Amino acid sequence: NAGVTQTPKFQVLKTGQSMTLQCAQDMNHNSMYWYRQDPGMGLRLIYYSASEGTTDKGEVPNGYNVSRLNKREFSLRLESAAPSQTSVYFCASRNRVRTDTQYFGPGTRLTVL
């Protein structure tokens, strides 16, 4: 049982490049989330998916898109990366039925030059 996994762990992009961050969970959770973490700013919600087939914007969605591919996988795409998107990105999942506990992935450290 791997929990929540994310790929890649590190990535360096040039301004304007695109990339997709991958997230998968094997806990059969319904809800999945993408956060970014910047120094002194806590965890800010980018997008979330309450259940398979649905996605909604969070606090800071501009410049990002998401896809809930199936119940296990939730990807985050940067279409045209900007230096302001340099951050650590965390994926999380939650079993909405049994508990409110969120389980986080190990994070992706992204640098945009």
Contact positions toward other proteins, by CB under 8 A? 31, 40-45, 48, 58, 90, 94, 96, 100-102, 104-107
By beta-carbon proximity to other proteins, the closer residue of 48 and 74 is 48
Min dist. Cβ of residue 17 to other proteins (A): 25
Kindly give, in sequence order, each residue whose CB lies less than 8 Å from that of residue 67, ignoring residues fewer than 6 positions away. 55, 74, 75, 77
Strand, helix or coil at 70? coil
Kindly give, in sequence order, each residue whose CB lies less than 8 Å from that of residue 94, ignoring residues fewer than 6 positions away. 29, 30, 31, 32, 33, 100, 101, 102, 103
By beta-carbon proximity to other proteins, the closer residue of 14 and 39 is 39
Min dist. Cβ of residue 80 to other proteins (A): 27
Min dist. Cβ of residue 78 to other proteins (A): 21
By beta-carbon proximity to other proteins, the closer residue of 16 and 57 is 57
